[in-house]
Amino acid sequence: MSLAQQLASQLPYLRRYARALTGSQQAGDACVRATLEAALADRAVLEEAAQGRIPLYAVFTRICSNAKLQVTAGAPAGLHERAAQAHLARMSPESRQALLLTTLEDLSPADAGRVLGRSADEIRALVAAAVAEIQRGTATRVLIIEDEPLISLQLEDIVTDMGHAVAGSAATRSRAREVFESERPGLVLADIRLADGSSGIDAVEDILKFGDVPVIFITAYPEKLLTGDRPEPTYLVTKPFHEATVRAAIGQALFFGSSRPLD
């Protein structure tokens, strides 16, 4: 395989990363073009970039310096993309790169460090700073729809420890609707089977009639949701759950979803 072919095989991944990093297809593709032009103009750069995804990303980082990696405000058209880019725009370029390399691109801290010229510990620190910034920017009120008191309390502890507030808890469909109407939370955690035999799925459908809000289903019956008969949930946590899984789902839902901030 020629150097050009080796490089071409990695371009879809680089385009994905560049677009997420800059916030738009146009800006991301411009950085990718600049990287390719530099590689074609310098044999040593081409040989380095063709060695694999990590060397290619390292070349990309050098060519498109931090000064060029500012998020393009308002570029993404979709609601979720706009929400994600609004959070990314608040970070320094290097923190944003570290976060995307270790999440979107699934690189280890050591490999992300090779891309950015940093140690693995420095990458971890940058990612921690980025996550802290996201948490500050996504603090919201949470409605918990759960009929088991102990599980409800456990979820409340997780939510508040993450810096969010509990808008209320509901054990039935009707109560969930009442709390949502009065409190208008920015996130919903919902079980499926509720105390009076009502359905958390129906409760969420009621809620979504009032407007868009991210929902995480936390249930021992995932098969009730993954049927293919209706739109399936983006965020689904299976009981018994690990706290880290719930935290990750909350962070992801608020990062990409639309949330109402704390007053």
HEC profile of 129-191: HHHHHHHHHCCEEEEEECCCHHHHHHHHHHHHHCCCEEEEEECCHHHHHHHHHHHCCCEEEEC
Encoded tokens for 107: 């690189």
Q: Are 125 and 30 part of one and the same domain?
A: yes
CATH number, residue 146: 3.40.50.2300
Quick check: is 144 in a domain? yes
Q: Are 29 and 128 part of one and the same domain?
A: yes
Q: Are 146 and 240 part of one and the same domain?
A: yes
Q: Are 225 and 128 part of one and the same domain?
A: no
Q: Are 200 and 130 part of one and the same domain?
A: no
Of 121, 136, 151, the residue that ends a domain is 136
C-alpha 30, offset from chain centre: 24
**pLDDT, one tens digit for every residue, the chain (263 residues):** 677 788 888 888 898 888 878 767 788 888 899 999 998 899 998 899 889 999 999 999 998 875 455 545 444 445 555 666 666 667 778 888 898 898 878 899 999 999 999 999 999 999 888 877 777 777 899 999 999 999 999 999 999 998 899 999 999 999 999 999 999 999 999 998 898 888 888 999 999 888 788 899 998 877 666 554 544 456 788 888 888 888 877 877 887 664 444 55
Query: Which of helix, strand or coil describes residue 217?
Result: strand
Decide if 89 contacts 21 (C-beta within 8 A).
no
> What gap in Å lies between CA 205 and CA 199, rounded to an integer?
10
* φ and ψ of 182, to 5 deg: -85, -35
> What is the structure's pLDDT at 226?
58
Of 107, 136, 165, the residue that ends a domain is 136
Q: Are 74 and 189 part of one and the same domain?
A: no
Q: Which domain holds residue 152?
A: 139-256
Quick check: is 262 in a domain? no
Q: Are 107 and 232 part of one and the same domain?
A: no
Q: Are 83 and 124 part of one and the same domain?
A: yes
Among 65, 64, 84, residue whose Cα is nearest residue 75: 84
> What gap in Å lies between CA 38 and CA 183, rounded to an integer?
54
Quick check: is 222 in a domain? yes
Q: Are 66 and 189 part of one and the same domain?
A: no
pTM above 0.85, yes or no: no
Positive or negative, the CA dihedral 173, 178, 183, 184 is: positive
Q: Are 221 and 105 part of one and the same domain?
A: no
> What gap in Å lies between CA 89 and CA 27, rounded to an integer?
14
CATH number, residue 63: 1.20.140.160
> What gap in Å lies between CA 98 and CA 3, rounded to an integer?
27
Of 119, 136, 153, the residue that ends a domain is 136
Q: Are 131 and 8 part of one and the same domain?
A: yes
Q: Number of folded domains in the chain? A: 2
Q: Are 96 and 121 part of one and the same domain?
A: yes
